[in-house]
Amino acid sequence: MALLRLLSAVLLLRCAVAQSPGFMLVSAPRDGKISWVRLPDGEDYAGTVPKTLIDTGLQHPQGIAVDQKRKRLYVADPDVQKIYSYQLFFSGKSVMTDQKQTVISTGAESRWVAIDGAGNVFFSDEPRNLILRVPADKVLRGISEPEVVYNGSNVEQVNQPGGIAADNFHVYWTNKHFGTQVGTVMRASEFPERSETKGVTVLASNLVKSYGVCMSLGNIYYTDASTHLYGVKKSGGPIAEVTASLKNPRGCAWDGDGTVYVQIAARTRSTPSRATCRQSPRPR
């Protein structure tokens, strides 16, 4: 299978030492698999073939996220309305899991999942217009009942939410419906007070429909439905067009340095798309 053929999520994972080679994890929904590749030292991806990490127990895995501190992988499987987690292990130039599947959430048709540095798990439920979470303490105790953080029935900026990201303070998401009216990319508190449930900030409203979202230290990057990757500062401001040469971009991930990897929903053989991004995107 080609590296980016019919994938729905791409996530970059680096080892604890910055100079160590990184790994990229990918989900293949039609195959019910999670695979991995070791990122080469250079930019030559020719001949890169994914290796299987998980090939049992999943129906249609889509969004994935990695808790780098605890070395756990999170997988959103919307067909069974569950979020799973797995323990990751690194050995030399490979990544493995013990294949033990833990249920983190049930009852939400989630295609995207994110985790912050404290271990709080966030995910979107597009059909029900919900932004949900399972707090870190509940994850540790094995309580798989998600909590509603933002509900589209009373927060208009939740409108068929897609990609999601979290940074310990805020949760970010994209909308796949009416983005130019209610907002394309949103920022809101991870744990809002009752009086703040409508305190959602619109960071961008240039797209009707947006899929993936990822973040670097000070920027948010997001994809449209056709060819573009955009960037905007976490505090808002001018929107930068990072690239317009992609084909059906979906998920994205930052490598912790200066590169954003973008998943391409293509049916032909391709290699990972990468865009080198400044920490302060400037508009074109």
Q: How many domains in the chain?
A: 1
**Does 278 or 140 have the greater pLDDT score?**
140
Summarised one tens digit per residue, pLDDT across range 265-284 is 755 433 445 554 444 454 44
- pLDDT, residue 188, reads 97
Which of these ranges, 55-64, 105-114, 209-218, 251-260, has the smallest mean pLDDT?
A: 251-260
In the chain, % helix, strand, coil (3-state, to 5) comes to 5, 45, 50
Quick one: pLDDT band at residue 47, thresholds 50, 70, 90?
low
Instruction: Give the number of other CB atoms < 10 A from CB of residue 159.
Output: 18
- pLDDT, residue 280, reads 46
In a domain, 91, yes or no: yes
Summarised one tens digit per residue, pLDDT across range 141-173 is 999 999 999 999 999 999 999 999 999 999 999
In a domain, 219, yes or no: yes
Per the structure, the complete domain to which residue 92 belongs is given by: 9-276
- How far is residue 268's CA from residue 108's CA, in Å, rounded to a whole number? 32
**Placement of tokens 């994850």 in the chain:** 139
- pLDDT, residue 197, reads 62
Up-side HSE of residue 67: CA atoms within 13 Å toward CB?
A: 23
- pLDDT, residue 41, reads 58
In a domain, 137, yes or no: yes
Question: Which residue, among 158, 152, 61, has the nearest Cα to 110 in the 3D structure?
Answer: 61
**Strand partners for 175:** 161
In a domain, 68, yes or no: yes
Reply yes or no on whether the pLDDT at 13 is more than 60.
Answer: no
Quick one: pLDDT band at residue 37, thresholds 50, 70, 90?
confident
Quick one: pLDDT band at residue 44, thresholds 50, 70, 90?
low
In a domain, 197, yes or no: yes
Summarised one tens digit per residue, pLDDT across range 66-84 is 998 999 999 999 999 999 9
User: What percentage of the chain has pLDDT greater than the value 90?
Assistant: 67
Residue 77 sits in a domain whose CATH number is 2.120.10.30
- pLDDT, residue 46, reads 56
- pLDDT, residue 174, reads 98
Quick one: pLDDT band at residue 18, thresholds 50, 70, 90?
very low
In a domain, 2, yes or no: no
Q: What is the mean pLDDT of residues 94-120?
A: 95
In a domain, 271, yes or no: yes
Reply yes or no on whether the pLDDT at 255 is more than 70.
Answer: yes
Q: What is the mean pLDDT of residues 88-100?
A: 89
Q: What is the mean pLDDT of residues 109-135?
A: 97
Quick one: pLDDT band at residue 11, thresholds 50, 70, 90?
low
Summarised one tens digit per residue, pLDDT across range 221-240 is 999 999 999 999 999 999 99
In a domain, 283, yes or no: no
Question: Are 124 and 83 contacting, i.e. CB atoms less than 8 angstroms apart?
Answer: no
